[in-house]
Structure 1
Amino acid sequence: MKNILSRLSLSDKSSDRRDFLRNAGLGGLSLGLAFDNRPEQEMEFITQKVGRSSKPSDLKITDMRVAILQGVPFSSPIIRIDTNQGIVGWGEVRDGASANYALMLKSRLLGKNPCNVEQIFKQIKQFGGQSRAAGGVCGVEMALWDLAGKAYDVPVYQLLGGKYRDFIRLYADTPEANNYEDFAKNMQKRREQGYTFLKMDFGIGMLADEPGMLVNASNWSVKQQWSDREPGKLGNYANTKHPFTRIQVTKKGLDRLADHVGKVREIVGYDLPLAADHFGHFDVNTAIQIGKAMEPFRLAWLEDLVPWMYTDQWKQISDAIDTPTLTGEDIYLKEGFIKLIDAKAVDMIHPDLASSGGLLETKKIGDYAEEKGIPMAMHFAGSPISMMANIHCAAATENFVALEHHGVDVPGWEDLVTGMKPIVEKGFVRVPEKPGLGVELNEEVAKKFLKKGGTWFAPTDMWNTRDSADREWS
């Protein structure tokens, strides 16, 4: 059809058009006569079944809707952006974030050409914030790239400059168990699944019920690292930044943690990288002590020992221990990463694309780190829609190491999308070659994950009207 349109555009005479149509079998003389001397109507007729994605310069956003999925593995609002040419772009708000972070952007998107991804991103990025507050901006940016790739009929990684690799390595959390024997069975399952990079959780929560392990912990709800529903006498542990709890780990506690990690390492073996996360809330001194205790086990990294914004404390920790340090899953935009990198405060960075600014911003983050000799792992805990955004970004970024996969054990996770089956093969994902992100939401399956009481891509007309001035300067 592209050749047909090309030849038609070069033909100035109606008789030439009729001859061409006759020879091409597209209506012959009767079609030519029907539109004689009316080339605009003739062109409209012969292209009525042509995908309008062949005109990316005319593409416009006409609608945006959201459906919230639950248990994929967490809560994930899926974004659908519609266009005047019938192509649809898919995006995803970060796990645990409100769909309203995306919906509030709708009035800024209507009528715009989604192919102008960076321009639109610069206009809406002011409405994002650290961690989950960035979810709307990043989810929209994913959907824009999906649309742009479909409009130009290329995979998104090509729009980001091409790819460095054909396969993306995943790392998976190690399944927890009540004893080391069951843990060993779970680890064997991970090996059989083909994962070659693992991560474990351990921290002061596992010491909370054992005497002589922790100092100043009895008045905090130490086991409630994530839930703020159980405040202790000294305040809400989940929402108190690490240095301010003044919890310390005793020598007995450090030995207990080292014994645990040592047994896990024996089960995992030393041929596989093993990273660690979720240590609890304590100060920089305790972080260093834990870091030193872990050095015999050659962990791939120690993650989020203290909050990411404490650059000087991160540098203290990184300078004091030999195990690599890593942070970044809650940082929005490249500036926060640049500060850590320039200060030589961490050994690795760990953006979550659904918080860091989306595909292009995360690639910029990775590229800056690469120039400074810093590797990039990527955090991810969502549906296959967000995973594919990560896959394209990882393919296009040279210093990429591994991408987290939190949905390994979620039944039906891979069936949430069509266009790629299987998604994960022996711990790796092949980079898609289809246009856009390379997958489409499988609505029949996805409806089974719809949040209880939620609606399926219901109309969002209440978000159509822009009601504020957005300019950030005078």
Structure 2
Amino acid sequence: MAKIDPSTLKITDMRFADIDGAPKRCTLIKLYTNQGLIGYGEVRDASSRTYAAMLKSRILGENPCNVDKIFRRIKQFGGHSRQAGGVCGIEVALWDLAGKAWGVPVWQLLGGKFRDRVRIYCDTDSEGGGRDMGKALRERMAQGYTFLKMDLGIELLMGKEGCLSAPLGFLEKMREYRKTVFTTPHGSIDPRAMRGEAYDLFNTAHGFTGIHLTEKGLDCLEQYMADVRAEVGYEIPIAIDHLGHIPLEDCIKLAKRLEKYNLAWMEDPVPWQLTDQYRRLAEATTVPIGTGEDIYLKENFLPLLKSGGLAVVHPDVLTAGGILETHKIGDMAEDYGVQMSIHMAESPVACMAAVHVAAATRNFMSLEVHSVDVPWWEDLAAGLPKPLIRNGYIDVPDAPGLGIEALNEELIRKKLHADFPEAWAPTDEWDKEWANDRQWS
């Protein structure tokens, strides 16, 4: 390849490949340039490529090295959770291109690194009781992982008599909707399943569901946690997630029951927007509280940090605003004495974006990987060490950009999502999408 001139680099195209099972549906992005460089990005798991495609006309012809300029142009089109996927995926690809153009890793562009390897926390699924989960976590420890996470919530109580109270029929309807939407191939979902009573119940926020834990339910969850600790001991950190849509008062009851089990954090107990409820929960328990994977932009973390309701911020690079915004969130959290861990349930592209943020952020603790049991996951990207995760850590790369030399095109073709059977198809229909984007008169 001819010598790259960063000053004349221009974006010429954007294309996508949707894959399944990494561990969820992931939309990979390629940004093409006039000098042959390709930047890799990714739309947030279980999101839509449309969030990125609609921004193509707004970035064509721009110099990708002007990352912050382009981000400020497109960030108005992002939103919380999966709605941020397009903005963040493009931002990641811009950093990849900038690093490749200037010949340095992304962490160097962020100001340098605080660590040479990034600690991984391994999210783990298990069926059965607490002893089964404990054995699954013990296997992770044997693989070298030094930080763990597991689910602990009302899903474990479904079907157990006397553990939950709710309006009769409510829980059954929620499970019916979940089964329909989350296990049915995307292209075969009946649009009618996306509305109606089951949909409304599933999308009812925690405090409005009427679901409560009974004393028996609290006993069962506490015993589950006790059984886990009996298997793995108390020395290794364990975070818990997916409590279920229960109100604040039940979260407080459960947190108090779990204090003795030395939790790393309790994740997303109530919707992140309810700042006062986070403050009340934090004041009622010694269990550390964490949230952030659905929050877009640093300013939306600020009320929670000011409230004292968080011990851990937990952004996802593909929702928070991308690489630089996540780095800024970590720095802001440090000002409030709050630790940062990073949520990540996506492909190696998003993983490496998070690795660079983690390397460059002082108060970082651990990065999630949710694909340890996906045997082909790390084969999606070439140029990275094999195995990528060694003894519970990922080494921080010194290669330019994200450190990914190329994507495994043969593997991508094998894993393509049924709705998008062609990888990197032309997206010319988005080249001239236009609107008056200015937000003032």
State the TM-score, normalized to the length of structure 2. 0.93
Question: Residue 466 of structure 1 is aligned with which of 425, 433, 438?
Answer: 433
Task: Report matched runs for 1:161-240 at 5 Å.
Answer: 161-179=111-129, 182-216=132-166, 218-221=168-171, 224=175, 229=181, 236-240=200-204
Task: Report matched runs for 1:335-354 at 5 Å.
Answer: 335-354=299-318
Unaligned stretches of 5+ in structure 2? Answer: 182-192
1:253 is matched with which residue? 217
2:394 is matched with which residue? 429
1:445 is matched with which residue? 411
Provide the C-alpha distance between the structure 2 equivalents of 1:75 and 1:210, rounded to a whole number of angstroms.
Answer: 32
1:161-217 alpha-carbon deviations (Å, 9 max, x no partner): 110101100101223033455444423321222111111101112223122211225
2:6 is matched with which residue? 56
Secondary structure at the counterpart of residue 386 of structure 1:
helix
Q: Do 2:131 and 2:224's aligned partners in 1 also have CA atoms closer than 8 Å? A: no
Secondary structure at the counterpart of residue 169 of structure 2:
coil
Aligned length: 424
Question: Do structure 1's residue 303 and structure 2's residue 267 form an aligned pair?
Answer: yes
Distance 1:419 1:401, change over 3 A: same
Q: Do 1:228 and 1:239's aligned partners in 2 also have CA atoms closer than 8 Å? A: no
Larger radius of gyration: 1
Greater relative CO (CA pairs within 8 A, separation 6+): 2
Per-residue deviation at 1:71?
0.5
Alpha-carbon RMSD: 1.7
Provide the C-alpha distance between the structure 2 equivalents of 1:453 and 1:276, rounded to a whole number of angstroms.
Answer: 34
Provide the C-alpha distance between the structure 1 equivalents of 2:142 and 2:259, rounded to a whole number of angstroms.
Answer: 28
- The residue identity in structure 2 corresponding to 1:361 is E
Per-residue deviation at 1:453?
4.3
Distance 1:325 1:183, change over 3 A: closer
- The residue identity in structure 2 corresponding to 1:264 is V
1:71 is matched with which residue? 21
Q: Do 2:130 and 2:226's aligned partners in 1 also have CA atoms closer than 8 Å? A: no
Question: Residue 269 of structure 1 is aligned with which of 233, 237, 252?
Answer: 233
Question: Do structure 1's residue 99 and structure 2's residue 53 form an aligned pair?
Answer: no
1:121-161 alpha-carbon deviations (Å, 9 max, x no partner): 00000110010000000000000000000000000000011
1:133 is matched with which residue? 83
Provide the C-alpha distance between the structure 2 equivalents of 1:79 and 1:142, rounded to a whole number of angstroms.
Answer: 9
Distance 1:269 1:424, change over 3 A: same
Provide the C-alpha distance between the structure 2 equivalents of 1:157 and 1:355, rounded to a whole number of angstroms.
Answer: 19
Q: Do 2:279 and 2:309's aligned partners in 1 also have CA atoms closer than 8 Å? A: yes
Per-residue deviation at 1:421?
2.2
Provide the C-alpha distance between the structure 1 equivalents of 2:344 and 2:277, rounded to a whole number of angstroms.
Answer: 25
Secondary structure at the counterpart of residue 254 of structure 1:
helix
Identity %, equivalent residues? 50
- The residue identity in structure 1 corresponding to 2:122 is A
Distance 1:144 1:201, change over 3 A: same
Provide the C-alpha distance between the structure 1 equivalents of 2:82 and 2:316, rounded to a whole number of angstroms.
Answer: 10
Q: Do 1:196 and 1:427's aligned partners in 2 also have CA atoms closer than 8 Å? A: yes
Provide the C-alpha distance between the structure 1 equivalents of 2:87 and 2:438, rounded to a whole number of angstroms.
Answer: 17
Per-residue deviation at 1:235?
6.8
Secondary structure at the counterpart of residue 262 of structure 1:
helix
2:58 is matched with which residue? 108
Distance 1:311 1:181, change over 3 A: closer
Provide the C-alpha distance between the structure 1 equivalents of 2:212 and 2:128, rounded to a whole number of angstroms.
Answer: 25
Per-residue deviation at 1:322?
0.4
Provide the C-alpha distance between the structure 1 equivalents of 2:141 and 2:369, rounded to a whole number of angstroms.
Answer: 15
1:78-119 alpha-carbon deviations (Å, 9 max, x no partner): 000000000000000000000111111100010000000000
Per-residue deviation at 1:335?
1.2
Q: Do 1:219 and 1:234's aligned partners in 2 also have CA atoms closer than 8 Å? A: no
Q: Do 1:65 and 1:81's aligned partners in 2 also have CA atoms closer than 8 Å? A: yes
1:355 is matched with which residue? 319
Q: Do 2:134 and 2:229's aligned partners in 1 also have CA atoms closer than 8 Å? A: no
Q: Do 1:219 and 1:232's aligned partners in 2 also have CA atoms closer than 8 Å? A: no
Provide the C-alpha distance between the structure 1 equivalents of 2:315 and 2:130, rounded to a whole number of angstroms.
Answer: 32
1:122 is matched with which residue? 72
Provide the C-alpha distance between the structure 1 equivalents of 2:105 and 2:280, rounded to a whole number of angstroms.
Answer: 42
Secondary structure at the counterpart of residue 236 of structure 1:
helix
Q: Do 1:367 and 1:397's aligned partners in 2 also have CA atoms closer than 8 Å? A: yes
Provide the C-alpha distance between the structure 1 equivalents of 2:13 and 2:243, rounded to a whole number of angstroms.
Answer: 43
2:110 is matched with which residue? 160
Q: Do 1:220 and 1:232's aligned partners in 2 also have CA atoms closer than 8 Å? A: no
Secondary structure at the counterpart of residue 301 of structure 1:
strand
2:276 is matched with which residue? 312
Unaligned stretches of 5+ in structure 1? Answer: 1-48
